[in-house]
Amino acid sequence: MKYNNRFYLFPLLCLFLVLTACEHDTDQFDGPGLVDRFGEFQLLEGLTISRATVDFSAGETVIFGARFNKRLNFTLRITGMESGSVKTIQGFDNELNANNAVWSGGTTMLPLFKREMCQVELIIPDENNLTLTGMVEIVGTKSYEGSLFTDFETPLGANLFTGNFEFELTNRTGRQNDMPAAQGDWYFLFEGTDNVVPNFFVGLADISARVTGETYIPFPTTVPEDLYFNAFIYADGGPHGIAVIQFVYDLNNTGLFEDGQDQTFQLAGDYPLDFTGWRQISHPMSDLGITQAQLSKMVGIRLLLISNMNSQPSPPLKVDYGIDFITFTAGGPLEL
């Protein structure tokens, strides 16, 4: 047979095409694993806790471990036996390890953890809520970033002024430890009824910047957009109370909190007390319309208890709230 030389191009072309056309990505199979989706569950290794006691203030962490035969949803729930604080870690994996099950002392649900024993539960929701348990003791609580204004753990003395002008506040108003505080043991309770002079106002409390040991409140930054106010507020669900928080600027440069002479800033809308339990509130100071120059001379914080007479029945009901752990952070809200 006699072939034209050009014909030999075609087998060469075919060989080239075969060699270049047959490489594919086969590293990982498509979709979720069938074993994960439909396989029968097996617990290969039970719950392990890396340490029996933990000092979060020293930077220690707790690592949890477990192993399963397939990837599945899991929930780790850590509950403070004294504070009632709860930390929840959720994930989807076939193993708990340092990549997905580490606790650095923070909380998911207030209050914050105390130095206390904690119960650890590993829950597998898809396996009839199979639960494995363990214990760990906190010997040092987590140190939170930011500047602490006050946590009410020590008496404020002359740095606290309570304004009960209309004698509507109860005797319980002040530092209390009658229920779990949001942080530590003590919090500040506001309680009263607007029934003497029904004018929405129940009472106020002025906390001087000198509670920090300084004339003016020391902030981690004075850029209003970067400076965040944080506090924990407690409400019992009574819908008629409103908490107002004002920030006092030393307008006359006396270094003192002088009512009627200094300027106050407060968040529009305030804080309606229509929820139950402890709740974190945070906002950038720029929301108040405050300037950087003004932030450098904040001489105190004023707390007010308001009774919403528009919704109150007759006679009006008692209103109250608690407040704890007032802090300022830079760059974002306080991370629990």
Partner 1 sequence: MDNNPEKVDRVTDGEFLLDLAINATPNEKSEVQAILRLRNEFGGFFGAGQSIEVRELWARGIIADIVRYRVGDMDMVMTPFTLFNPDEEGMVNNPSIFQPQKDLIYYEQFYAEGNQRRLQGAKVDMGLNFSKGLKSADVMAFISRIRGADFFTTPTRFVGGGSVDLLSNTFNDSLGLKADLGLNLAYTWDDLTVGEANSGIRNAVTTIDFDVTILEQSKMGLHLRGEVGRSNLNVLEEDSISVYKIDDTFLEVGAALELKPQHLTLSVSYVDVGPDFFSIGAQSKRIGFDRPKSYFNRVGADNMVRMPGLFDISRDRSMYTFQLSDRLMNYDPRLSNTSPYGRATPNRQGLRFGLDWKPADERIEASVTGAVLNEIRGQGTNELKSFNLIRAMANVNFDKMIDWKNKLRLTLGYQYENTSRSGLEVEKVDLNSNLLEIGLEAELFANFELLAGGTFLTSNGRDYIPLIETFNVVKDFPDPFVSDDTEALLGAGLRYNFKKDTYVTFQYQNYSFARKTDPNNDYTLSQVFVLYTMNF
The nearer residue to partner 1, 13 or 197, going by C-beta atoms, is 13
Chain-centre distance of CA 150, in angstroms? 17
Q: How far apart are the first and last CA of the chain?
A: 85
Question: Is there binding between residue 44 and partner 1 (CB under 8 A)?
Answer: no
Judge contact between 243 and 279, C-beta under 8 A: no
Pick the piece of the chain touching partner 1 (CB under 8 A) from 27-35, 168-176, 282-290, 312-320.
Answer: 27-35
Question: Is there binding between residue 23 and partner 1 (CB under 8 A)?
Answer: yes
Task: List the interface residues with partner 1, window 188-247 (CB under 8 A).
Answer: none
Per DSSP bridges, beta strands 271-272 and 241-249 are antiparallel
Provide the minimum distance between the beta carbon of 93 and partner 1 in the complex, in angstroms, as a whole number. 17
The nearer residue to partner 1, 34 or 98, going by C-beta atoms, is 34
Q: How many CA atoms lie within 13 A of 127 on its CB side?
A: 22
Query: Which strand (E) or helix (H) includes residue 135?
Result: strand 130-140
Pick the piece of the chain touching partner 1 (CB under 8 A) from 33-41, 94-102, 180-188, 318-326.
Answer: 33-41
Task: List the interface residues with partner 1, window 3-22 (CB under 8 A).
Answer: 3-4, 6-7, 10, 13-14, 17-18, 20-22
Site for partner 1 (CB under 8 A): which residue of 12, 25, 314, 315? Answer: 25
The nearer residue to partner 1, 20 or 310, going by C-beta atoms, is 20
Question: Is there binding between residue 81 and partner 1 (CB under 8 A)?
Answer: no
Nearest by Cα to 163 from 244, 62, 106: 244
Question: Is there binding between residue 314 and partner 1 (CB under 8 A)?
Answer: no
Provide the minimum distance between the beta carbon of 11 and partner 1 in the complex, in angstroms, as a whole number. 9
Distance CA 285, CA 290 (A): 7
Give Cβ neighbours of residue 189 (< 8 Å, ≥ 6 apart). Answer: 172, 173, 174, 175, 176, 178, 320, 321, 322
Give Cβ neighbours of residue 296 (< 8 Å, ≥ 6 apart). Answer: 216, 222
Question: Is there binding between residue 167 and partner 1 (CB under 8 A)?
Answer: no
Q: Which residues bind partner 1 (CB under 8 A)?
A: 1-4, 6-7, 10, 13-14, 17-18, 20-26, 29-35, 37-40
